[in-house]
Structure 1
């Protein structure tokens, strides 16, 4: 890449690998830059990354999805933990984070268009999405911190976005809240596995890293 990035949105679209947003080297400062590179059969066709239109809002931990030849970037956050310089155990310090539900689409003119946001701010959803019947399904994530304790709050809903009508729906709930999970869809079943779950039904803060796999029949 032309510059280091932490957790940028990345996706293949129209024969090019697009990388946008993310955080800069300190993990905290949002990056707006957007680059692309022509690729084919796993190989780069160009020597340098091409500069594209910057994304309106930077930050990491977003879903980046192509549906019906349109590129969508969904959710994310501004800010993240920062490494403490010189720490022998690579310790990080907390910084102010802003989680958002913004949705942007890249159109035919390579311009970003803001679309209706998610039902709630949501981050840590990089791989928590699938495409079903030309709609985007997103599971779990993290939302705004608790106003008093400032602890991270995990998300337990299953969201659906219809690109045709630009409408969001909450279509279900997970067995527990979870962030940074992996979602899949096969033969009518919606799957999710791994990530970090909540502390219990009454405590949405993150605790245990999991290896469980769950599935449910999805009828849309």
Structure 2
């Protein structure tokens, strides 16, 4: 009896062990099938697994796969600092999408300007660089002129401006001694423009007056051409509406020869922030924009409010028949370049500016390239990069060196949106191909 019971007990134990082994095998098989189906599902393009057992330790190596990136809407990307974003179709757009290939240049940091300035103005007379006015911050403006000596490479003087003179968005040109200052914005934020005009005698440091413009303007294109002071375009009194008007006034040695401005042929595109240049008795207007920031309705401090701007790279020349002739456009649209140019070896050189806004974030995009327009061939080329992207920079040229100072720079190499207003002065050796 005892032996029978022992045998039965043993048989029961073996049956239980057998069932346990079969159950484990079934679970293992089910797990393999499930794992295969999971790995083969449409959520993966490819996946491979290797399992190696060494010293009772398991190491699992998974070859990664590529999945579609999640879509990002304009609202989701708004206000976020990203080096990359998407355009809604799943395609990635670099925040620096507007940068053009350009040679690297070797830049030297010089002495900073006495103050940082945005939307200032500058005039070069021989080796002296006169840097005018501008914003210090959105709530403060400068009312003086700083002077840089290119020969000594240092800031050497200061001249106070008349109290009635505008502080930013000036039109300005020189005959080699007298600097003519036309209209502009009076005060900080987005305050109104003035129609006042002034003359600075750089030898005596004395100020004079000219007849006021027929209407106030922001950042009009301004040049001396054939004995007349020409003022073109800019923005109207609301700071936004582009104006096409073109006026001229006969001047000589800092004095007006007429009591009123004469109406001339309108410019093809209105608006502010364009370069205006005279070379070999030809008048050029380059780039610029239509539209600008406006004062917020009802704001007691005229707080700036963003509006839509259209930036263009159009180039026009006024010929002997007083007709505007279109020339090849810039490599890309460019604005805020009214004092960002020099003429070297029969070429116009333009540094920095602003271009079309980012297609997703809608932020302003600054320009970091240096452009050359060869007046012999009427062709554009990209000849270098600035140390960073910058707008409303002030550019000079002396003894083979290209200088720039002031303006508003980008947020970094991967973010072309504007951030810091600068006082920095930089220079690089400039060699142009004819």
1:24 aligns to 2:236 (yes or no): yes
Q: 1:106 aligns with which of 298, 315, 318?
A: 318
Question: Which deviations, in whole Å up to 9, do the C-alpha atoms of 1:33-56 show, x marking residues without a partner?
Answer: 100000000011001111100001
Which position in structure 2 is the counterpart of 1:165?
A: 377
- Cα RMSD over matched residues? 0.7
The two structures have a TM-score, normalised by structure 1, of 0.98
SS at match of 2:237: coil
SS in 1 for 2:383: strand
Q: Distance in 2 between matches of 1:182 and 1:60?
A: 16
Aligned to 2:89: none
1:141-187 Cα shifts (integer Å, max 9, x gaps): 00000011110000000000012211001000001000000000000
Paired with 1:92 and 1:207, the residues of 2 have a C-alpha distance of: 16
Regions of 4+ moved over 2 Å: none
Q: How many residues align?
A: 220
**Which one of the candidate residues 153, 175, 178 is aligned to 2:365?**
153
> Do residues 118 (structure 1) and 330 (structure 2) align?
yes
User: Does residue 1:217 correspond to 2:429, yes or no?
Assistant: yes
Is it true that 1:65 corresponds to 2:280 in the alignment? Answer: no
Q: What is the 5 A alignment of 1:31-70?
A: 31-70=243-282
Higher Cα Rg, which structure: 2
Whether the 8 Å contact between 1:67 and 1:135 is mirrored in structure 2 is no
Alignment of 1:95 with 2:302, yes or no, is no
Instruction: Pick one of 326, 343, 346 that aligns with 1:134.
Output: 346
Q: TM-score, normalised by structure 2?
A: 0.50
| Distance in 1 of aligned mates of 2:274 and 2:340 | 9
Corresponding residue for residue 415 of structure 2: 203
C-alpha deviation, 1:139, in angstroms: 0.2
**Cα pair 1:68 1:134 within 8 Å, conserved:** no
CA distance in 1, matches of 2:324, 2:273: 19
Is the 1:70–1:107 contact (alpha carbons within 8 Å) kept by the matching residues of 2? yes
Q: Distance in 1 between matches of 2:347 and 2:281?
A: 13
SS at match of 2:348: strand
Offset at 1:89?
Answer: 2.1
